[in-house]
Amino acid sequence: MTTTLVTGGTVVSSTGRGRADVLIDGERIVAVLEQGSVLLGSDLKAGVDRVIDATGKYVIPGGIDAHTHMELPFGGTAASDTFETGTRAAAWGGTTTIIDFAVQSHGQRVMDGLAAWHEKAAGNCAIDYGFHQIIGDVDADSLQAMDGLVDEGVTSFKLFMAYPGVFYSDDAQILRAMQKSHDTGLLTMMHAENGPAIDVLVEQLIAQGKTDPYYHGVARAWQMEEEATHRAIMLANLTGAPLYVVHVSAKQAVEQLAAARDDGQNVFGETCPQYLYLSLEDNLGASSAEWGNFEGAKWVCSTPLRSRHEHHRDELWKALRTNDLQMVSTDHCPFCMKGQKDLGLGDFSKIPNGIGSVEHRIDLLYQGVVDGRISLERWVEITSATPARMFGLYGRKGVIAPGADADVVIYDPDGHTSIGYGKSHHMSMDHSAWEGYEIDGHVDTVLSRGKVVIDDDAYLGVAGDGRFVKRELSQYLI
Ligand code: DUC
Ligand code: ZN
Ligand code: ZN
Ligand code: ZN
């Protein structure tokens, strides 16, 4: 087994930072040693197989992106990143674990949906991966199947209050699934948007000839998110289910979560980089020589980007700082413009929903540190430690400590990353939703279970080295 010493860096955790050297034996961290410690003479350096010099750099636990959709079938097509291309891109960006959503589609049995997802991922991932389970059809059979999910290491499931006719659950179904969540400890994840009401607005806008991508965001108004978030919180309150609301974009939804948390309810919220940086006007109103107003399709996702005039972004950053929101995932769901997004030319409702960001989450959030939005420790907390705790991985992942998997990122605060198609971009897409973003930091080296997968701008990962991780129950259960 290879021994590695990461030396000279500043180890950052969710609770503090300090100059320390990290000793790795095979796949695990075996010691974190204060620099200058007597244990750490030249003997140790001489005795290890590999020394990585991290002088002047941060040494952080590998990122955990708890919300990705590799190969997701959506809108008559499928997300353009496979598990192979998507996990490779994740590694480039300092993410060493993804939790993807296995799908039970309408009429399919839950365990068949899960098995199909294992088949897609097995042997193809460069980094470790886990699954949440989408329950697309809450009925007696799927409720019973949910009893078996904990043994599968799949300890969270997602319901949709949006997308009638596809993944949608009505209130009766949500209530039953949440009762199961309370009984089993499975964490309920909720896509909180009022789908039936949105569909009425969509139909009316299209009938008025308002077919450009911009109107996607108009139809999915913040009231639709606030209302659904409130309803989900109330149903969770009634049933005692632990609740995690995904892709929160509206400040009013944050207020609902904050009020419930202040009341002592066990509810959590995630936001995504696109809601922290992008806005309806900047992007859905964009126009290019190639695509005209349809350019905005690049940024069609759900929940949608919000109007900058309503100041959602500042409120989301604030909520991340004050823990009204607990973490940031990407909702990585990439589609190409040609042959995928262009299915919605002339009808915004046919644009496959999603943005690809799995590669850029750590960098984009680090820019929040540089800009004085969050602290260095909070950066590690919201990108790694909290996702690990939330989804039952902490100890093994999310921390640099003896016994943990050696998922380690060496981040250079004096480096620079230019994001854009043909620049820093390894996702399987024909454009970047983040064109022109410049980051005052750089992912230098990435280790996944002790193996170097990114070495100073060289990719050394191997499809199939990533393993499925069985997760424990959420470490936030009470
Ligand atoms: N939102 C997206 O943007 N894409 C996939 C599914 C979802 O809820
Ligand atoms: Zn969703
Ligand atoms: Zn999603
Ligand atoms: Zn580099």
Residue 470 within any structural domain of the chain:
no
pLDDT band at 39 (very low <50, low <70, confident <90, very high): low
* 8 CA to centre of ligand 3 in angstroms: 39
> For a pocket test of ligand 1, which of 70, 74, 189 has the largest count of ligand atoms closer than 8 A to its C-beta?
74
Q: How far apart are CA 59 and CA 444, in angstroms?
A: 10
pLDDT tier at 86, thresholds 50, 70, 90: very high
| Whether residue 40 has pLDDT greater than 60 | no
- Please state which of the ranges 30-39, 82-91, 377-386 shows the lowest mean pLDDT: 30-39
Ligand 1 pocket check: which of 272, 302, 429 to mutate, most ligand atoms within 8 Å of Cβ?
Answer: 302
**Distance (Å, rounded) from C-alpha 87 to C-alpha 96?**
8
For residue 399 and ligand 1, the question of a CB distance below 6 A is answered with no
Q: Which residue has the tokens 């016994």?
A: 403
Q: pLDDT digit string (tens) for 464-476?
A: 999 999 999 999 9
Average pLDDT over the chain reads: 96
| In-domain check, residue 304 | yes
442-448 and 451-455 strand pairing: antiparallel
Per-residue pLDDT, averaged over 312-333, amounts to: 98
Q: Is residue 188 situated within a structural domain?
A: yes
Q: Where are the beta strands (DSSP E) in 259-305?
A: 267-271
Q: What are 387-400's pLDDT values in tens digits?
A: 999 999 999 999 99
Q: Give residue 308's domain range.
A: 62-390
User: Scanning the structure block, which residue is given the tokens 């079938």?
Assistant: 73
- State whether 15 and 73 are in the same domain: no
Torsion angles phi and psi, residue 202, rounded to 5: -60, -50
- Give the mean model confidence (pLDDT) for residues 385-414: 98
Report the CATH number at residue 305. 3.20.20.140
Tokens of 10: 């500043």
35 and 85 share a domain?
no
The CATH number of whichever domain residue 448 belongs to comes to 2.30.40.10
282 has a pLDDT exceeding 90: no
Is the residue at 245 inside a domain?
Answer: yes
- How far apart, in whole angstroms, are the C-alpha atoms of residue 456 and residue 454? 6
Instruction: Give the ipTM of the model, two decimals please.
Output: 0.91
Smallest CA separation from ligand 1 atom 8, residue:
302
Q: Tell me, yes or no, whether 93 and 227 share the same domain.
A: yes
Question: 247 and 183 in one domain?
Answer: yes
Residues 90/81, Cβ–Cβ less than 8 Å: no
The percentage of the chain sitting over the pLDDT mark of 90, rounded to a whole number, equals 94
**pLDDT given for residue 196 in this prediction:** 98
Give the pLDDT confidence score for residue 284 in this predicted structure. Answer: 86
pLDDT for 1 equals 82
The per-residue pLDDT for 142 is 98
32 and 92 housed in the same domain: no
Give distance in angstroms: CA of 458 to centre of ligand 4. Answer: 8
- Report the pLDDT value the prediction gives residue 42, as an integer from 0 to 100: 61
Q: Please write down the HEC assignment for all residues of 141-183.
A: HHHHHHCCCHHHCCCEEEEECCCCCCCECCHHHHHHHHHHHHH
Per-residue model confidence (pLDDT) at position 277? 98
Asked if residue 202 and residue 142 are part of one domain, the reply reads yes
Strand partners, 438: 418
Q: Is residue 431 part of a domain?
A: no
Give the Cα separation of 210 and 37 in Å (integer): 67
* Model confidence at 285: pLDDT above 80: yes
Nearest CA to ligand 1 atom 7: 302
Tens of pLDDT, residue by residue over 418-462, are 999 989 899 999 999 999 999 999 999 999 999 999 998 899 999
pLDDT reported for residue 169:
98
Per-residue model confidence as pLDDT tens digits over 149-176: 999 999 999 999 999 999 999 999 999 9
pLDDT of residue 63: 99
Any atom of ligand 1 within 6 Å of the Cβ of 332: no
Which SS3 state, helix, strand or coil, does residue 305 take? coil
- 140 burial class (0-12, 13-18, 19+ CB within 10 angstroms)? exposed
The H-or-E segment that residue 5 falls in is strand 3-7
CB of 353 sitting under 6 A from ligand 1: yes
Query: Are residues 10 and 67 both part of a single domain?
Result: no
Query: Which pLDDT belongs to residue 286?
Result: 87
Distances (CA, A) of 405 to 51, 66, 127, 456, 474: 18, 17, 12, 21, 19
Same domain, 87 and 11: no
Query: Within this chain, do residues 345 and 405 fall inside the same structural domain, yes or no?
Result: no
Query: Residue whose CA is closest, atom 4 of ligand 1?
Result: 354
What is the pairing mode between strands 128-135 and 95-104?
parallel
Share of the chain above pLDDT 70, in %: 99
**Cβ(354) to ligand 1 under 6 A?**
yes
Does the pLDDT at position 478 exceed 90? no
Tally of structural domains, the chain: 2
Nearest ligand to the C-alpha atom of residue 166: 1
Confidence label for 4 from pLDDT (cuts 50, 70 and 90): very high
Tell me, yes or no, whether 67 and 56 share the same domain.
no
Are 316 and 348 in contact by the 8 Å Cβ rule? The answer is no
Say if residue 67 is in the same domain as residue 204. Answer: yes
Distance 278 CA to ligand 2 centre (A): 18
* Same domain (yes/no): 48, 75: no
Residues in the chain: 478
Return the DSSP state at 117. Answer: H
Q: CA 303, CA 129: separation in Å to the nearest integer?
A: 24
Say if residue 303 is preceded by a cis peptide, omega within 30 of 0.
Answer: yes
